[in-house]
Structure 1
Amino acid sequence: MKELPLIDLTVIVLYLAAMVFTGFWFSRRNKNAGQFSKGSGLIPGWAVGISLYATFLSSNTFIGVPGKAFGSNWNAFVFSLSIPLAAWVASRYFVPFYRKAGEVSAYTHLEHRFGPWARTYAVICFLLTQVARIGSIFFGMALALQALTGYSMTSIMLVIGLCILAYTVLGGMEAVIWTEVVQAILMSGGALLIVVLILLDMPGGAGKILETGISDNKFSLGSAAPIFTEPTFWVILLYGFFINLNNFGVDQNYVQRYHTASSEKEASRSIWICAKLYVPLSLLFFVIGTCLYAYYQENPELTGQIKLQAAAEQLGPGASGEAVAARAATLGPADYGDKVMPHFMAEKVPPGLAGLIISAILAAGMSTISSGMNASATVFSEDIYKRYLKRNASSEQHMRALLITTAIFGIIGMAAGIAMIGVKSILDIWWELSGIFAGGMLGLFLLGIISRKAGNREALAAIILGVLIILWMTFSYLIPSEYSYLRNPLHANMIIVAGTLAIFLSGSFLGWLRKPAAQKPVS
């Protein structure tokens, strides 16, 4: 592993220092909890939209998406194709709902609709989702930087984490949004730069990449067969629609930004800006993955280096050279896809440019982590602290709780990232965890908004049924082989689809069966 040149380290340090300085700059405006959570409430829609776009991007996108395209094909791009449909639903129904409600927490209205348990349940699901997301993004950033610097992944997470804590805790939501505008520009430019560098070093250029991609079926979007046991086109489309509907309609990261915009129209506009930016850029990351696949096919000696590295990490530091070589011989592209982008940057990106690309990767991860920290702290303070711990909290006490919990969630996220070291695919682990935690939350929201007949008891029964289905689909693989017929036959990405539909449909049906309350006789 080559040492990172001083010029690249300087670029990275300057970028991190600029982000921390932004936090100090906006800290002057954070006089109360409302300012910390919603900013000025006058942020233009284009800035909010770019901020949403930056939140969608992450180190999972920068490392995981090219790794996925390298190891398989463009099947995962179908996820991005579902975003416009989810954006239409959110801008048409969810934004007006939240702007009218006026509550900074996305989950307060669930208590009005179904009772305290519903609000608490949604909060727990959201916080678990955020811990998983923040952890996976910390891991993705550390994976890239380890390949370039040789530092341990744990040390990298701690250093980057402290910088994120500084500007997020100090600057609040306004700092998060404006730093994400800068980060979005940086990460988009970094992705374009990577494509250019691959093309310049690729024997045969774009023509050879296209030829290799076609011959090895790298551009496939997946089978169009109506099969739900494999990641077909329809499985990823359904998964993407439900996850993105959850993002735009239920996730505090997004809902909180609707309140920062100057009007309902600007809030809706921000969603479409996010969708229009993200779909083409996500395609660019799949192009990067295919370009890297063709490049390493033409340079098999480099592929051997990556396989040895992946095998050594799998076996641990005590493994012998023979054992590592034997394991490396068994690895396929899907087993080391996440390591290809960091390896290319370490070996082929010239000094100076590497610092810019690393800063872009940091920008992708830091934007999502800072947003998740702020949103998690807001939810905790609004839905737990003020609801159960300190009902009559003063403005100073509320602000102190926000600052402390922002830091706590950042630390928990770092710990989750450290725990993920050694996973096979960043994208796979995040998709699976988000599908587990988000399904029940989205189903409950849809039930509350669409079904007028479902009440507290019907919603509780539906949640119990939905959670049981989610748990069975997630853990039924543990059932002994002699009872394999009891295992979940569907693909893991169908968990959020099945869980959401189970809660919404069963709750609606029970509400339909519910007898209307008897009217009191008029005296």
Structure 2
Amino acid sequence: MAVLDWIILVGTLLFIVGYGVWKTKGNKDVNDYVLGGNKAKWWTIGLSVMATQASAITFLSTPGQAFHDGMGFVQFYFGLPLAMIIICVVFVPIYHKLKVYTAYEFLENRFDLKTRTLAAILFLIQRGLAAGITIFAPAIILSAVLGWDLRTLSIIIGVLVIIYTVSGGTKAVNVTQKQQMFIMMIGMFTAFFFILGYLPEDISFNKALKIAGASDKLNVLDFDLNTKSRYTFWSGITGGLFLALSYFGTDQSQVQRYLSGKSVTESQLGLIFNGVLKIPMQFLILLVGVLVFVFYQYNASPLNFNPAATNAVAASSYAADYKALEEGHRVLEAEKKLAQNKFSAALELGEAEAIETAKQEIKFLNRKELSNRNAARAMIQQADASVETNDKDYVFIHFILNHLPRGLIGLLLAVILSAAMSSTASELNALGTITALDLYKRNRKGTFSPKHYVLVSKGFTMLWGIIAILIACYANLFDNLIQLVNIIGSIFYGNVLGIFLLAFFFKFVKGNAVFVAAIITQAIVIFGWYYEWMSYLWLNAFGCALVIVLACLLESFDRMLKNPPITL
């Protein structure tokens, strides 16, 4: 990185932290700290909701997902617009009417304290884990840039976020996220146009899409009914719908964003704004990943994008074998470039038979390349089992560091780190709020001043920041960061959503039945996920339906025992 990149990167991050602290001095009470004084306008809410969801994982991991697997991941978001409408109609008016600070406060009003506490604890577990992952993601980036230790970087990033989140609460999160979203979108559009400019002169945008399509990277829609298929139209419109309902309707990191609105209308407009723009934003980010794939059809790429993995195997007894794999990879790249040129020429001539022949050759070479990359991963694993062999999350950062001009590198690193800070800040803010209000305040006897609860909220926010840092220090890339966060959410969200739907629509069901049903459901969902009964997206719908059915059955059975039928 050049000096200009460092100036842009450090200047952007210091501005965000400083601006957040400066704009949010002097929270007088819990309402100010937790809900920002209910002063947020709809565009602030909309951008804050988007920024909360668009973590560093979105900008780091999604392009890598598209590079390897294509555009199919966008189906994950197909249920989101419908979810926004349902939340606007059902959830938002109820939350505002009851004037609650947290989503789980409503559950005590409807059921009882133990159900509120259980839902809060389920949230704390899954969101606490996710907060650690959102810190870990940008640590990967700076590790690749600086060669620093991942744990040291996780601590530095976590401390930066803690400073303004603890200082300013919800208002600090909201005001900084507007700037962060602006930086994020400017950076992604800039990257998009630079990648297009780096393609060969005869490769237009339209031809680049056809080249990507020849390698099956543009298969946006998959109507496969197999529930084990990870990303399909049906999993997105059902599992994705339930996940979005759970996330935006019951997850305090999101609920707190729109509870800070000036009115019901402002909150609803903010959510609709998010529903309209979210899919196009994700489509753009995935498209950037697809264009990176096209770029590497004409330019050299590493056998494994994780530099630490390459260094580990190069320093081991497998170095000569790995070098042979790299030689084979370079030969394959040359063959792929020739095949792409044949395909491009056939497109120019419009010869259907030649186009199909070239396409089949490309697919054959892609299979060989995949086999070669898998062999490299296996060799790296043998050389050093502690090194991450899955390189999906390193694809985009490799392109940024090795191919973009000075200044733009700093801007895009600022994009990814801004996203990490915005998402993590929302999560820590919500975790501190839930712990302070749903657990501490609700179960603490005695009367305390408003300032006491502000200090308690700040203390718990800082505590969760430390916990998130510790999780980040021991995190693992798993399959892919963006998938890992969604898997964690899917294990818990369906159950929590089911509890809220029982509260809204099943008036005859009481707290005891819901509490027992929720515990049983959570155990079954974890068991089902572990033994891979279905793709993780389906767990959202499954968990939601299961807790509703079990609660209704338990309540009916309890009523039968208390009021047995009269026999003559």
Equivalent in the alignment of 2:86: 89
Equivalent in the alignment of 1:153: 150
Deviations 1:385-427 (A, max 9, x none): 1122455232232121111111111121122222224433102
Task: Quote the offset at 1:158 in angstroms.
Answer: 1.8
Give the conservation status (yes or no) of the 8 Å contact 1:165–1:370: yes
2:293 is aligned with 1:293: yes
Task: Quote the offset at 1:129 in angstroms.
Answer: 1.8
Counterpart Cα distance in 2 of 1:325 and 1:251? 48
Equivalent in the alignment of 1:506: 550
Counterpart Cα distance in 2 of 1:316 and 1:97? 60
Equivalent in the alignment of 2:422: 367
Task: Quote the offset at 1:164 in angstroms.
Answer: 1.0
Deviations 1:259-308 (A, max 9, x none): 21111111111101112222211110110111111111222x32336266
Give the conservation status (yes or no) of the 8 Å contact 2:491–2:536: no
Give the conservation status (yes or no) of the 8 Å contact 1:454–1:508: yes
Equivalent in the alignment of 1:237: 237
Deviations 1:187-246 (A, max 9, x none): 011111111111111122424421221111111135312210222331233221111101
What letter matches 1:266 in structure 2? Answer: E
Counterpart Cα distance in 2 of 1:151 and 1:190? 24
Which 10-residue stretch deviates more, 404-413 or 462-471? Answer: 462-471
Give the conservation status (yes or no) of the 8 Å contact 1:385–1:391: no
Give the conservation status (yes or no) of the 8 Å contact 1:76–1:236: no
What letter matches 2:430 in structure 1? Answer: A
2:534 is aligned with 1:490: yes
3-state SS, counterpart of residue 448 of structure 2: coil
Equivalent in the alignment of 1:397: 452
Which 10-residue stretch deviates more, 346-355 or 83-92? Answer: 346-355
Deviations 1:13-32 (A, max 9, x none): 11121122123313423122
Task: Quote the offset at 1:335 in angstroms.
Answer: 4.0
Give the conservation status (yes or no) of the 8 Å contact 1:148–1:345: no
2:19 is aligned with 1:22: yes
TM-score (norm 2): 0.83
TM-score (norm 1): 0.90
Instruction: Tell me which of 77, 80, 98 is aligned to 2:77.
Output: 80
Counterpart Cα distance in 2 of 1:319 and 1:461? 55
Give the conservation status (yes or no) of the 8 Å contact 2:24–2:171: no
Equivalent in the alignment of 1:278: 278
Which 10-residue stretch deviates more, 421-430 or 81-90? Answer: 421-430
Equivalent in the alignment of 1:481: none
Counterpart Cα distance in 2 of 1:327 and 1:157? 33
3-state SS, counterpart of residue 331 of structure 1: helix
What letter matches 1:256 in structure 2? Answer: Q
Give the conservation status (yes or no) of the 8 Å contact 1:53–1:275: no
Give the conservation status (yes or no) of the 8 Å contact 1:253–1:375: yes
CA gap 1:92/1:350 in 2 versus in 1, 3 angstroms:
same
CA gap 1:296/1:172 in 2 versus in 1, 3 angstroms:
same
Counterpart Cα distance in 1 of 2:539 and 2:111? 24
Which 10-residue stretch deviates more, 421-430 or 32-41? Answer: 421-430
Task: Quote the offset at 1:174 in angstroms.
Answer: 0.9
Give the conservation status (yes or no) of the 8 Å contact 2:144–2:307: no
CA gap 1:437/1:200 in 2 versus in 1, 3 angstroms:
same
Q: How does 1:104-503 map to 2 (within 5 A)?
A: 104-203=101-200, 204-231=203-230, 232-299=232-299, 301-304=300-303, 306=305, 309-310=308-309, 320-322=318-320, 325=323, 329-331=372-374, 335-389=390-444, 391-476=446-531, 488-503=532-547
What letter matches 2:148 in structure 1? Answer: Y
- Percent sequence identity is 26
Give the conservation status (yes or no) of the 8 Å contact 1:56–1:278: no
Counterpart Cα distance in 1 of 2:443 and 2:145? 47
Counterpart Cα distance in 2 of 1:327 and 1:457? 61
Deviations 1:149-176 (A, max 9, x none): 3222222222222211111111211111
Give the conservation status (yes or no) of the 8 Å contact 1:143–1:342: no
Task: Quote the offset at 1:512 in angstroms.
Answer: 4.9
Counterpart Cα distance in 1 of 2:528 and 2:46? 35
Q: How does 1:31-70 map to 2 (within 5 A)?
A: 31-70=28-67
Which 10-residue stretch deviates more, 223-232 or 353-362? Answer: 223-232
Counterpart Cα distance in 1 of 2:207 and 2:307? 26
Give the conservation status (yes or no) of the 8 Å contact 1:148–1:343: no
What letter matches 1:292 in structure 2? Answer: V
Counterpart Cα distance in 2 of 1:391 and 1:292? 60
3-state SS, counterpart of residue 27 of structure 2: coil
Counterpart Cα distance in 1 of 2:306 and 2:34? 45
Task: Quote the offset at 1:123 in angstroms.
Answer: 0.8
CA gap 1:396/1:471 in 2 versus in 1, 3 angstroms:
same
3-state SS, counterpart of residue 228 of structure 2: coil
Give the conservation status (yes or no) of the 8 Å contact 1:187–1:361: yes
Counterpart Cα distance in 2 of 1:390 and 1:11? 50
Counterpart Cα distance in 2 of 1:383 and 1:357? 38
Equivalent in the alignment of 1:482: none
Counterpart Cα distance in 2 of 1:248 and 1:444? 15
Counterpart Cα distance in 2 of 1:390 and 1:15? 44
CA gap 1:342/1:120 in 2 versus in 1, 3 angstroms:
same
Give the conservation status (yes or no) of the 8 Å contact 1:67–1:339: yes
Counterpart Cα distance in 1 of 2:533 and 2:176? 44
CA gap 1:330/1:159 in 2 versus in 1, 3 angstroms:
same
Could you list the runs of 5+ residues in structure 1 that have no partner in the other structure?
A: 477-487, 519-523
Counterpart Cα distance in 1 of 2:499 and 2:321? 50
Give the conservation status (yes or no) of the 8 Å contact 1:142–1:157: yes
CA gap 1:422/1:319 in 2 versus in 1, 3 angstroms:
farther
Counterpart Cα distance in 2 of 1:235 and 1:261? 32
Structure with the greater alpha carbon radius of gyration? 2
Could you list the runs of 5+ residues in structure 2 that have no partner in the other structure?
A: 327-371, 378-388, 564-568
Counterpart Cα distance in 2 of 1:115 and 1:505? 19
Taking only aligned residues, the RMSD between alpha carbons, in angstroms, comes to: 2.3
What letter matches 2:437 in structure 1? Answer: E
Task: Quote the offset at 1:449 in angstroms.
Answer: 1.2
CA gap 1:316/1:440 in 2 versus in 1, 3 angstroms:
farther
What letter matches 2:319 in structure 1? Answer: G
CA gap 1:93/1:430 in 2 versus in 1, 3 angstroms:
same
CA gap 1:308/1:261 in 2 versus in 1, 3 angstroms:
closer
Task: Quote the offset at 1:475 in angstroms.
Answer: 2.3
3-state SS, counterpart of residue 4 of structure 2: helix
Give the conservation status (yes or no) of the 8 Å contact 1:135–1:413: yes
Counterpart Cα distance in 1 of 2:251 and 2:282? 21
What letter matches 1:297 in structure 2? Answer: Q
